[in-house]
Amino acid sequence: MEWNNKFTYPKSSRSLENGLRNYLFGKKKLPSVTSILQATKSEEDKASLENWKERVGHKEANRIKNEASSRGTSMHSYIEEFLRGRINESFFESNEQHIRMSKEIIDKGIKGKLEEIYGMETTLYYPEKYAGTADLVGIYQGQETIIDFKQANKPKKVDYIQDYFLQLGAYTLAHNIVYKTNITLGVILLCTVDNLFQDFKIEGSELLMYQNLFLGRLKKFNEMNNLS
């Protein structure tokens, strides 16, 4: 795989206000994709989350959440270091969980499939509307693609990861608007704590559907916050 600085991606900083993450571009503030999705969850999804917290206990729920967040951060860092050529796998062996999970994604989802990298941990924004961070933008199996890396405690069904697809819809739409591209493929590369690899792809008309669904969630978010 090769690096290709085809696009100049912006620098930004982030702030947290009332539990919502914002991206700051100079004096301009845009809500994050993840905060928009979090704030506009359905009542059914909110109830399901609360029921889970009650079932396992709030202390245990927080422990699981924090552990998953830490593991996800470590996994992302390892994959990024690998793609930047800073890790020589033949000299580095480890049984750490996040490294084993990272290697599953690298071996089964990246090697032989990822051809060019345009950017990693890439800030993307739709002017005046929203912003977010895509894990990777590049050419994947011959197509310009946006890729997100995910970790999970157990295997995922498509019905349970709709927000992942909405994220990809938001990122691809923003990239196409700002850079005049025509990205029609979004990919999720996921590994569970038991080292089960899964990949999910949305493309063409299905990706367009998720772009429009995200815009619907954005409209709801703006109405909730009295934004135009």
pLDDT at residue 162 greater than cutoff 90? yes
Crossing angle of the two packed helices 204-224 and 162-179, in degrees rounded to 10? 90
Taking the model in full, what pTM does it have? Answer: 0.90
Percent with pLDDT over 70 in the chain? 95
> How many helices (H) and strands (E) are present in the chain, helices listed first?
6, 9
pLDDT at residue 91 greater than cutoff 60? no
Residue-wise pLDDT for 3-23, tens only, equals: 999 999 998 888 888 878 999
Q: For all residues of the chain together, what is the average pLDDT?
A: 90
Q: What is the mean pLDDT of residues 126-145?
A: 96
pLDDT at residue 166 greater than cutoff 50? yes
CATH code of residue 49: 3.90.320
* CA pair distance 223, 228, nearest whole angstrom: 8
Range of the domain at 166: 2-224
Query: In the chain, how many domains are there?
Result: 1
Q: What is the pLDDT of residue 88?
A: 66
